[in-house]
Amino acid sequence: METLALLFNIFFVFARVGTLAWGGGPSMIPLMQQEVIAHKWLTSEEFIDALALGNALPGPIATKMSLHIGYQQAGLPGALAGVLGTIAPSGVLMLVLAIFFLRAKDAPAIEAALSAVRPAVVGLLIWTAFDLGSTVLLAGNLTWSQALSANWDKILIVAIVAIGVIRFEVNPALVIIIAAIFGVIVYR
Protein backbone atom coordinates (compact mmCIF):
# COMPACT_ATOMS: atom_id res chain seq x y z
CA MET A 1 0.00 0.00 0.00
CA GLU A 2 2.90 2.33 0.80
CA THR A 3 4.38 1.77 -2.68
CA LEU A 4 1.06 2.58 -4.32
CA ALA A 5 0.85 5.82 -2.34
CA LEU A 6 4.38 6.73 -3.45
CA LEU A 7 3.48 6.04 -7.10
CA PHE A 8 0.39 8.25 -6.86
CA ASN A 9 2.49 10.93 -5.19
CA ILE A 10 5.12 10.76 -7.96
CA PHE A 11 2.39 10.95 -10.61
CA PHE A 12 0.62 13.91 -9.00
CA VAL A 13 3.82 15.86 -8.32
CA PHE A 14 4.88 15.57 -11.95
CA ALA A 15 1.31 16.18 -13.11
CA ARG A 16 1.34 19.43 -11.15
CA VAL A 17 4.67 20.36 -12.74
CA GLY A 18 3.39 19.42 -16.19
CA THR A 19 0.19 21.37 -15.72
CA LEU A 20 1.56 24.54 -14.11
CA ALA A 21 4.82 25.04 -16.01
CA TRP A 22 4.19 26.93 -19.22
CA GLY A 23 6.58 27.19 -22.13
CA GLY A 24 7.92 23.68 -22.68
CA GLY A 25 10.38 21.36 -20.98
CA PRO A 26 13.00 23.87 -19.80
CA SER A 27 10.33 26.02 -18.16
CA MET A 28 9.33 23.00 -16.05
CA ILE A 29 12.75 22.77 -14.42
CA PRO A 30 12.26 25.51 -11.78
CA LEU A 31 8.98 24.05 -10.54
CA MET A 32 10.31 20.50 -10.80
CA GLN A 33 13.35 21.49 -8.73
CA GLN A 34 11.15 23.07 -6.07
CA GLU A 35 8.83 20.05 -5.86
CA VAL A 36 11.53 17.37 -5.87
CA ILE A 37 13.59 19.10 -3.19
CA ALA A 38 10.50 19.86 -1.08
CA HIS A 39 9.58 16.15 -1.15
CA LYS A 40 13.21 15.33 -0.23
CA TRP A 41 13.52 13.04 -3.24
CA LEU A 42 16.79 14.73 -4.23
CA THR A 43 19.12 17.28 -2.72
CA SER A 44 20.01 20.41 -4.69
CA GLU A 45 23.30 18.82 -5.72
CA GLU A 46 21.61 15.60 -6.84
CA PHE A 47 19.10 17.64 -8.83
CA ILE A 48 21.92 19.45 -10.62
CA ASP A 49 23.60 16.11 -11.38
CA ALA A 50 20.34 14.72 -12.78
CA LEU A 51 19.85 17.88 -14.84
CA ALA A 52 23.38 17.61 -16.24
CA LEU A 53 22.82 13.96 -17.11
CA GLY A 54 19.45 14.78 -18.68
CA ASN A 55 20.97 17.53 -20.80
CA ALA A 56 23.60 15.11 -22.09
CA LEU A 57 20.93 12.83 -23.57
CA PRO A 58 18.62 13.47 -26.52
CA GLY A 59 14.94 14.24 -26.01
CA PRO A 60 12.82 16.56 -23.88
CA ILE A 61 14.46 17.43 -20.57
CA ALA A 62 11.30 17.33 -18.44
CA THR A 63 10.42 13.76 -19.41
CA LYS A 64 13.99 12.58 -18.84
CA MET A 65 14.07 14.25 -15.44
CA SER A 66 10.72 12.81 -14.37
CA LEU A 67 11.77 9.36 -15.59
CA HIS A 68 15.06 9.55 -13.69
CA ILE A 69 13.56 10.87 -10.47
CA GLY A 70 10.60 8.47 -10.61
CA TYR A 71 12.94 5.53 -11.20
CA GLN A 72 15.18 6.60 -8.34
CA GLN A 73 12.19 6.72 -5.97
CA ALA A 74 10.23 3.62 -7.00
CA GLY A 75 12.00 1.74 -9.77
CA LEU A 76 10.32 1.10 -13.12
CA PRO A 77 6.78 1.80 -11.84
CA GLY A 78 8.04 5.12 -10.44
CA ALA A 79 9.65 6.00 -13.78
CA LEU A 80 6.36 5.28 -15.55
CA ALA A 81 4.40 7.30 -12.99
CA GLY A 82 6.78 10.23 -13.36
CA VAL A 83 6.68 10.27 -17.15
CA LEU A 84 2.90 9.83 -17.28
CA GLY A 85 2.47 12.58 -14.72
CA THR A 86 4.63 14.88 -16.83
CA ILE A 87 3.03 14.24 -20.21
CA ALA A 88 -0.60 13.20 -19.59
CA PRO A 89 -2.04 16.45 -18.19
CA SER A 90 -0.22 18.63 -20.70
CA GLY A 91 -1.17 16.25 -23.51
CA VAL A 92 -4.87 16.47 -22.63
CA LEU A 93 -4.63 20.24 -22.12
CA MET A 94 -2.83 20.59 -25.44
CA LEU A 95 -5.63 18.82 -27.28
CA VAL A 96 -8.25 21.03 -25.65
CA LEU A 97 -6.24 24.20 -26.15
CA ALA A 98 -5.39 23.32 -29.75
CA ILE A 99 -9.07 23.26 -30.60
CA PHE A 100 -9.61 26.59 -28.83
CA PHE A 101 -6.37 28.15 -30.07
CA LEU A 102 -6.99 27.32 -33.72
CA ARG A 103 -10.30 29.16 -33.47
CA ALA A 104 -9.06 32.14 -31.44
CA LYS A 105 -5.31 32.41 -32.16
CA ASP A 106 -5.59 35.87 -33.69
CA ALA A 107 -7.77 37.29 -30.91
CA PRO A 108 -6.19 40.31 -29.22
CA ALA A 109 -6.62 38.80 -25.74
CA ILE A 110 -4.71 35.64 -26.73
CA GLU A 111 -1.91 37.64 -28.36
CA ALA A 112 -1.72 39.88 -25.28
CA ALA A 113 -1.57 36.92 -22.89
CA LEU A 114 1.21 35.24 -24.88
CA SER A 115 3.13 38.52 -24.99
CA ALA A 116 3.39 38.45 -21.19
CA VAL A 117 3.86 34.69 -20.74
CA ARG A 118 6.92 34.44 -23.02
CA PRO A 119 9.13 36.85 -21.05
CA ALA A 120 7.84 35.38 -17.77
CA VAL A 121 9.17 31.98 -18.87
CA VAL A 122 12.53 33.57 -19.72
CA GLY A 123 12.59 35.09 -16.22
CA LEU A 124 11.94 31.68 -14.68
CA LEU A 125 14.81 30.18 -16.67
CA ILE A 126 17.13 32.97 -15.51
CA TRP A 127 16.05 32.33 -11.91
CA THR A 128 16.75 28.61 -12.38
CA ALA A 129 20.22 29.32 -13.78
CA PHE A 130 20.95 31.65 -10.84
CA ASP A 131 19.61 29.15 -8.30
CA LEU A 132 21.57 26.25 -9.77
CA GLY A 133 24.69 28.41 -10.06
CA SER A 134 24.37 29.48 -6.44
CA THR A 135 24.09 25.84 -5.36
CA VAL A 136 27.24 24.91 -7.27
CA LEU A 137 29.32 27.94 -6.37
CA LEU A 138 28.23 28.52 -2.77
CA ALA A 139 28.65 24.90 -1.65
CA GLY A 140 29.96 24.74 1.90
CA ASN A 141 28.20 27.94 2.99
CA LEU A 142 30.67 30.24 1.25
CA THR A 143 29.98 33.92 0.79
CA TRP A 144 29.91 35.21 -2.78
CA SER A 145 33.41 36.73 -2.46
CA GLN A 146 34.78 33.46 -1.07
CA ALA A 147 32.98 31.50 -3.78
CA LEU A 148 34.40 33.69 -6.55
CA SER A 149 37.98 33.14 -5.38
CA ALA A 150 37.51 29.47 -4.45
CA ASN A 151 35.62 28.54 -7.62
CA TRP A 152 37.35 30.65 -10.26
CA ASP A 153 37.83 27.50 -12.34
CA LYS A 154 34.09 26.71 -12.36
CA ILE A 155 33.27 30.33 -13.23
CA LEU A 156 35.76 30.07 -16.10
CA ILE A 157 33.99 26.91 -17.30
CA VAL A 158 30.64 28.74 -17.16
CA ALA A 159 32.05 31.62 -19.23
CA ILE A 160 33.70 29.35 -21.81
CA VAL A 161 30.52 27.30 -22.20
CA ALA A 162 28.34 30.40 -22.52
CA ILE A 163 30.63 31.88 -25.18
CA GLY A 164 30.90 28.55 -26.99
CA VAL A 165 27.16 27.98 -27.10
CA ILE A 166 26.10 31.59 -27.78
CA ARG A 167 28.87 32.80 -30.09
CA PHE A 168 30.02 29.61 -31.79
CA GLU A 169 26.78 27.59 -31.54
CA VAL A 170 28.51 24.57 -30.01
CA ASN A 171 26.03 21.73 -29.51
CA PRO A 172 25.01 21.50 -25.81
CA ALA A 173 25.41 17.70 -25.82
CA LEU A 174 28.99 18.14 -27.02
CA VAL A 175 29.56 20.69 -24.24
CA ILE A 176 28.41 18.17 -21.60
CA ILE A 177 30.65 15.43 -23.04
CA ILE A 178 33.69 17.74 -23.19
CA ALA A 179 32.99 19.00 -19.65
CA ALA A 180 32.72 15.42 -18.36
CA ILE A 181 36.03 14.45 -19.97
CA PHE A 182 37.63 17.64 -18.64
CA GLY A 183 36.30 16.86 -15.15
CA VAL A 184 37.69 13.33 -15.20
CA ILE A 185 41.12 14.64 -16.28
CA VAL A 186 41.35 17.73 -14.07
CA TYR A 187 39.25 17.02 -10.95
CA ARG A 188 40.05 13.36 -10.43
Residue 140, domain member (yes or no): no
Beta carbons within 10 angstroms of residue 45's beta carbon: 11
Residue 172, domain member (yes or no): no
DSSP secondary structure code for residue 88 in this structure: H
From first CA to last CA, the distance across the chain in angstroms is: 43
Residue 131, domain member (yes or no): no
| Chain centre distance of CA 86 | 12
- The residue range of the domain holding 92 is 2-105
Flag whether the pTM goes above 0.85: no
Better-scored residue on pLDDT, 81 or 154: 81
**The total number of structural domains that make up the chain:** 1
Mean pLDDT in residue range 65-93: 93
Mean pLDDT in residue range 11-40: 87
Residue 168, domain member (yes or no): no
CA angle 177, 183, 185 (to 5 degrees): 105
Residue 111, domain member (yes or no): no
Residue 115, domain member (yes or no): no
Residue 31, domain member (yes or no): yes
Residue 1 has pLDDT above 70, yes or no: no
pLDDT-above-90 percentage for the chain = 44
Residue 70, domain member (yes or no): yes
pLDDT reported for residue 156: 93
Better-scored residue on pLDDT, 103 or 6: 6
Mean pLDDT in residue range 181-185: 93
